[in-house]
Chain A
Amino acid sequence: MNRTLPVLLALALVLACAQLAPAQQDMKTLAPAAYGNKLTRPPAQFNHDQHNEKAKLADCVVCHHGGKDGKIDRSASTEGTPCADCHALKVQGKGTALTRAYHKQCIGCHQAKGKGPVACGQCHKR
């Protein structure tokens, strides 16, 4: 029996899955292209997988929420969508600007849990 085909198919599947989340695995900081070269602080330290393991986060929607007009919808997951895809650097009307979104979501959760960085230099490390 020729095993080449199933092995190749399995390999293709693994590669395809790995393709889905390369950004998350390599991610060490939060510095999306949206900021260009206009970062006023060193990028926030954030290792996606390490963070979620430590914080025991299995449910993506906790961070990757849905919503519109500045209202968060925790029932609609946007898993796999980077923050900057929805949160623009500057917003007109309702909605939350990117920097404010990061600060509110990260610090808000850290405050609620009593764990994780809350002051500027704890994330924006030099």
Chain B
Amino acid sequence: MNAAYEFVTGPLAWAAWGIFLLGSAWRLVSMYQLAKKKDASSLAFMDWGFSLRSIVNWLIPFNALGWRKSPAMTVATFAFHVCLLVGPIFLAAHVMLWDQFFGISYASLPDNVADVMTLVVIAACLYFAGRRLAQPEVRYITTGQDWLALVIVLAPFLTGFLAYHQVGGYELMIILHVVAGEIMLAAIPFTRLSHMVFAAFTRAYMGSEFGGVRHARDW
């Protein structure tokens, strides 16, 4: 147990963070170079004002037409993304590890709040899965990559929930949880999860084209 825990929280954790950060930087640089080569005119149209206008308007729930057209998805996706980011970063157990490993301490969420947020993430994952199966227009464009991304995200939250409640063999569960989290981090640059890195630029691109070329809103 000790050797396995040391390995997954030591070298494997450094590797996962390294792949996540360097991989993301590499994806951004290579995407920029590809855009410069194949879509230079769009780069010329990139505009801070139109970019930020699009980003801000899409960040407000039910503000964009796309959000209003599918209210259930809007609620699910906003709840999911907020809980996905805020939950793990401010989880008391994770904050404690920052303190233990690096002497960094910051505010944390009460455990029962974090517990509910974890359940929200799990429930949203199930909703997304159901939507991919039940809605024909979504099902038509669903690929294996979409399912892979969903499973990669679900795994650390499910194992984390079970480890916290110490259900189903704690020692194995905590190691599975750490590994699942590391797989998620390392997968961000190279799977559909890369929208974490690209989303702001995708919006900026659309916003700039709609604002500067078509003179229209893109929300």
Contact = CB atoms under 8 A, between A and B. Distances in A.
- Report whether over half of chain B's contact residues are helix, strand or loop; otherwise say mixed: helix
A118 B6 contact: yes
Contacts, number: 38
Interface residues of B, number: 18
A115 B6 CA distance: 11
A120 B174 contact: yes
Query: Residue among A114, A119, A121 with the most chain B CB within 10 A?
Result: A119
Contacts of B6: 111, 118
A126 B165 contact: yes
B158 to A, nearest CB: 16
A124 to B, nearest CB: 9
B100 interface: yes
Contacts of B163: 121
A118 B92 contact: no
A104 B180 CA distance: 26
A82 to B, nearest CB: 22
A40 to B, nearest CB: 6
B166 A119 contact: no
A100 interface: yes
B156 to A, nearest CB: 15
B165 A40 contact: no
A96 B132 CA distance: 51
B92 A40 contact: yes
Given A119-B5, A119-B171, A126 B100 contact: no
Interface of B: 1-3, 5-6, 92-93, 96, 99-100, 111, 163-166, 170-171, 174
Interface of A: 40, 99-100, 103-104, 107, 110-111, 114-116, 118-122, 125-126
Closest 6 CB pairs of A and B: A121-B170, A119-B174, A126-B166, A121-B166, A103-B100, A114-B2
26 contacts: A40-B92, A40-B111, A99-B96, A100-B99, A100-B100, A103-B96, A103-B99, A103-B100, A104-B100, A107-B100, A111-B2, A114-B2, A114-B3, A116-B2, A118-B1, A118-B5, A118-B6, A119-B5, A119-B170, A119-B174, A120-B93, A120-B96, A120-B174, A121-B166, A121-B170, A125-B166
